[in-house]
Amino acid sequence: MVMEAVTVGCWHMACKSCILQHIEFQRQRGEEPICHTCRTPISESSIFDVVRHEEGGMTKITLARHSPTQSTKLDALVRHLRLLKDQEPLTKSVVFSQFTSFLDIVERTFKREKIQYLRLDGTTSQQQRTAVLEKFSSHKGRLVLLISLKAGGVGLNLVAASRVFMLDPWWSFAVEAQAIDRIHRVGQNKSVVITRFIVNDSVEEKMLKIQDRKVSLALGMSLTRTEFRC
C-alpha cells in the first residue's frame, strides 16, 4: 500500500500513521506535540490529508482536513469483527492498543457501527476494573473488550475471549506477549486467533524488525509471523 501523505499546519510533510504516533508519543511523555522538522506545535486538528485527483489526464492535489475517524486500521478491524459476527456470533474479542487516544477513536467508531464493547485502561479504578472483567466473563454472546496494552499486560484473566486484535506493535515483543497471554492461558478451551494490524511503509515495519532481532537474540532462532497489512 502507498504511504498516506499528510501535511501539518507548518506545511511539512509526513506519513499519516507516523505523525499520529509521533503526536501520541510526545503526549505520553507529558510534552506538547511539535513538528518533527521545525518544532512548531502541532495536533491532530492541524493535519491535512493530501488528496490526489486524476482529471483530464492530469494529477491535481488538494488538501482535506484530517478526520480522526478515517483510519485504514479501523476499517480493517470493523471488517474483521463483522465477519466474525457472521461466522462465530458468540465469540468474544479483545482489542489492544498502546494509545488511549486511539482507543477513544475506536470507541466512537464502535458506537457508530453499533458494536457492543467494554473498555479498560490505566484510568479505570479497581472497582470499575473488577466490574468490567466480571461483565466480560459472564456476558452471553458477542462482546469486545478495548484495553490499553500496558493495563492488560499482567494480572488479568481473559480466557472468555478467543480472538485478539493488536492495533499497533510495541518496541519489545515481550510486552505484546504478556498481553496475549491474558487470553492464551490455563483455562482457555478454544483456539486463540491473533490478528495484528501493520501499516505498510511506516515506522511499524521497522518496529517489527527490531522485535525480530531482539527475540532472535534471546531464543537463537529465526521467526516467522503473519500480519494483516493495511
Considering only CA atoms, which of 80, 37, 35 is closest in space to residue 194? 80
The number of CA neighbours under 13 Å toward the Cβ of 5 is 10
Helix (H, G, I), strand (E, B) or coil at 227: coil
Considering only CA atoms, which of 37, 73, 104, 41 is closest in space to residue 198? 73
- Where along the chain do its domains lie? 5-65, 72-229
Alpha-carbon distances of 137 from 4, 38, 80, 128, 229, rounded to whole Å: 39, 49, 22, 14, 31
- Sign, CA dihedral 143-93-115-174, equals positive
Q: Rounded CA gap, 91 and 81, in Å?
A: 10
- Which pLDDT score, from 0 to 100, does residue 55 have? 55
CATH topology of domain 72-229: Rossmann fold (3.40.50)
Which residues of the chain register pLDDT less than 50? Answer: 1-2, 221-225
- Which pLDDT score, from 0 to 100, does residue 53 have? 62
User: Side chain identity at 126, as an amino acid letter?
Assistant: Q
Q: Rounded CA gap, 180 and 165, in Å?
A: 9
**pTM for the full predicted model:** 0.64
- Which pLDDT score, from 0 to 100, does residue 2 have? 43
pLDDT tens per residue, range 117-155: 999 988 888 899 999 999 999 998 899 999 988 776 667
- Which pLDDT score, from 0 to 100, does residue 119 have? 94
Beta partners for 163? 93, 193
Q: Rounded CA gap, 8 and 46, in Å?
A: 5
Which residues make Cβ contacts (< 8 Å) with residue 204, sequence separation at least 6? Answer: 17, 168, 169, 198
Considering only CA atoms, which of 216, 215, 212 is closest in space to residue 227? 212
Q: Rounded CA gap, 14 and 221, in Å?
A: 35
Q: Rounded CA gap, 147 and 108, in Å?
A: 15
- Which pLDDT score, from 0 to 100, does residue 223 have? 41
